[in-house]
Structures are given as C-alpha cells and as structure tokens.
Amino acid sequence: MIPQPPLHPDSLLLHADDPLHDGTSVTPPIPWSATFTAEDAQAFARMASEPMHERYYTRYGNPLHRRVARIVADLEGAATGLVAASGMGAISTVALGLLAQGDRVVAQRNHYMGTTKLLSELLARFGVTAEFVDQTDTEAFARALERPAAMVMLESPTNPDCSLTDLAAVATLAHAAGATVVVDNTFATPLNQRPLALGADLVVHSATKYLGGHHDLTAGVVVGDAAMIERLWSTQIVLGATLSPMDAWLLLRGLRTLSVRVHRINESALTVARALAAHPAVESVSYPGLASHPQHALALRQMSGFGGVMGLRLRTGYEGTARFVAGLRLAQHAVSLGGVETLIVHAAAMWAGTLDEAGMRLAGIEPNLVRLSVGLEHPDDLIADLCRGLDALPAG
C-alpha cells in the first residue's frame, strides 16, 4: 500500500467511516432492526460475548452507530467512540460509568443545566460529591484540585454566556490530582476546538446541536481511548440510552456537511456579533471571537473558530427583551442551537413562572440576556431582522 497523507477534516467527514467500494449504494442502508441473526451456534456465542459487537442487538451496537462514532473520533483525534440517544445520554453514561460512591468531582459553576443537575442532584444520591468552581478562574480549579478528585467535568464555551475554561491548564491540574478529564465540546465542535490535544481524556457532544445540525434529531457522542470507551459501553448497555438507527442515519447525513456549515456559521456569527455590538440598544455581546470578550486571548489560543452562539444583553428589562425575541422573523424562538436555522432564547423566560424581575437579579439571571445561535441564513438578513427588533425597543 502506498502511504496516504492524513485527510483534512472536510474529507474525514465523508470518508472516515470507510464506505465499502463494492458496488453497493453510496449512502448506507439503514440497518432497521433491533436484532441480527447468527449463522450458527459458534457465531452466536461470539456475537453475545464480543464487546461493542455491531450486529447482535441494537442496544449493544448497530453498524450505523459504529460509522458515526468513527467520524467523530477521527475529527477529535480519538481512538474510538460511542453514540447515545442524546447528549445527556452520553454524559450520564460517562458519569455513571466512571464514578463510584465516595468519589469527588470538580466541575464548573456554569454547565449545561442537565449536567449540573446530574452532578448536584442525581449523583449526590449515590454518594458522589461535586464542587463547582468559576470556570474563568484557573486558580479556583487549582485550589479545588489540591485534594484528589476522580473526575473533572469541563465545558467551553458555556451556555448561555460563552465564557471559557483554560482547557490545557485545567487538564494539567486535574491529572496531577488523579482525575479523568471530560470536556463537553458541543458549542465549539471538533472543527473549532480539539480538547484531547489540550490534554482531555474524554470528549462528549450533544450531537443534537452542530454535529446533526438540522434540529431534527437528538443524539450524543463520547470519544476517547479504547479501554475507557469499552468500559463506558458496558455501562451504556444497562442504562439503555440507545440511538435509533434512523437517527444515526440522519446524524451521519448531517455530519457530511459539518465543515461547510461550521465554517460558514463561524463567519456569519462574527459578522452578526460585530453588528450587534455597534447597536445602541445592545448593552454587550459575549462572543469569544470579539476582541471585547474578556477571554479573547484564550479563545485565540485554544480555538480555531468561535462557533455560532453568543449572549446578548439588551438595554431594556424583562418585558422589552421578551417583546424583542417574540418579534423577530428569521431568528426563531426555540431552545437548542447549532442547526441550520437561527434560534434565539430569552434566558430569564425559563424562570418567569417562579421569580419576578428582582428575584431573577438576585439569582444572577439577568432579565435582559438572550442567547442567539446563528444559522445559515445570510448574515445581512439576520442583522436586518435583529436590528429591526432592536430599533423598536424604547430608547433608554
């Protein structure tokens, strides 16, 4: 064999999963089956005992699971990976697969809400303690990691405010404390940030977001070394967060265009962020790609692009922010992010039933904060839509 140069990510997205050059269809068939037949008793015994077998029972594996995991593992520079029915399916598999009673986790004050609840509520019931530190403060991690920890859970940029964690520095501190370093790389995608190269042991994704990219499926992925992934697989088959073969097929299809989507979204989001930052009705824009982001130097060091998500603070209160969000035409008012359609959410609206404006301020939930996930619309159209809404806000 002539040695081949390593493929660029654009090509890996199309070829890492090794399509068969055997006259079969270019797109894979959907192995739409919960179970697979064995040729004979010996083959059956092998299927039943071999870890991560892809044609035994779909909860144990499916050929499309394998193909999707291969692509994400290659993009992240990992040996192998595992897919799950959602991002939380992957994250809970990691936590329950690696932690035991008495273990200590160090995590960020700011995480995806499901991760925070998993660590602070569910795992607490099983005797796992978690300490949450300000992720922008590496010294705070150093103090928390003066004592041994089993796991350090990281996520950068975060939701909804796009603050960053110094992944390389914290990974070094974590390893010195004996911890496994897990990074949720959902917001960045493997095209903009590669945590394993910065020292992480495992990378998780909500593939519901950029990897799938079309707001039509939920899925999760975890990648890492072979021994750890096999251990997580043995946990996953009892937890049962199994990705449906149809959703695995949609995810594979979404992944084919990840590179063009992410590069275009990186460019559009920077254009939109700059335009919004210049609008008088905007108090601040938190986007790692802007020089005004307090951690912009870190962003340049550990990211090669800045993604599509930004936090906006408007010069208005709860009602004005709610009217702004509801009045947009192109930016749709819905949770989730990372897809082809631009989505926007009013962070405080999630708490509107339980807290008044003063209560939200006390709890640190600013009533004027929105999260914008830029999609594939033309940036000029998005800017026009957003500025029309901003122009309509009462001055002040």
Ligand X SMILES: *Cc1c(COP(=O)(O)O)cnc(C)c1O
Report the alpha-carbon distance of residue 76 to residue 97 in Å, rounded.
Answer: 21
Contact segment (CB under 6 A) with ligand X among 140-148, 203-211, 254-262, 369-377 equals 203-211
Strands (E), the chain: 80-84, 104-108, 129-133, 151-155, 180-184, 202-206, 220-224, 282-286, 309-314, 332-333, 343-346, 369-373
In the list 108, 180, 206, 316, the residue contacting ligand X (rule: CB under 6 A) is 206
| Binders of ligand X in range 162-201 (CB under 6 A) | 184, 186-187
Neighbours of 308 (CB within 10 A): 32
Looking at residues 46 to 85 of the shown chain, list those that interact with ligand X (rule: CB under 6 A): none
Other Cβ atoms within 10 Å of 5 Cβ, number: 5
User: Catalytic one among 17, 74, 103, 184?
Assistant: 184
CB of 20 to ligand X, least distance (A): 30
Q: How many CA atoms lie within 13 A of 241 on its CB side?
A: 25
Q: Interface with ligand X includes 220 (CB under 6 A)?
A: yes
**H or E segment at 270?**
helix 258-277
Active site residue 184: yes
Tell whether residue 339 is a contact of ligand X (CB under 6 A): no
Binding of ligand X by 112 (CB under 6 A): yes
- Residue 114 near ligand X by CB under 6 A: yes
> Toward ligand X, which CB reaches closer, 91 or 328?
91
Rounded CA-CA distance 244/251 in Å is 10
- The answer to the question of residue 286 lying near ligand X (CB under 6 A) is no
Name the catalytic one among 10, 46, 57, 59: 59
- Give the per-residue SS3 of 131-198: EEECCCCHHHHHHHCCCCCCEEEEECCCCCCCCCCCHHHHHHHHHHCCCEEEEECCCCCCCCCCHHHH
Q: Is 218 in the site for ligand X (CB under 6 A)?
A: yes
Structure tokens that stand for 77 in this block:
């520079």
Nearer to ligand X, 83 or 393 (CB): 83
Residue 385 is a binding residue for ligand X (CB under 6 A): no
The continuous run of DSSP H or E covering 235 comes out as helix 226-239
Please identify, using beta-carbon distances, which residue of 206 and 342 lies nearer to ligand X.
206
Nearer to ligand X, 177 or 374 (CB): 374
Please choose, out of 117-125, 204-212, 226-234, 376-384, the segment that lies near ligand X by the rule CB under 6 A.
204-212
Residues 145-164 that bind ligand X (CB under 6 A): 155, 159
Q: Which two tokens stand for residue 153?
A: 């859970």
Tell me the site size for ligand X, rule CB under 6 A: 15
Q: Which residues bind ligand X (CB under 6 A)?
A: 86-88, 112, 114, 155, 159, 184, 186-187, 206, 208-209, 218, 220
Residues annotated as catalytic are: 59, 112, 184, 209
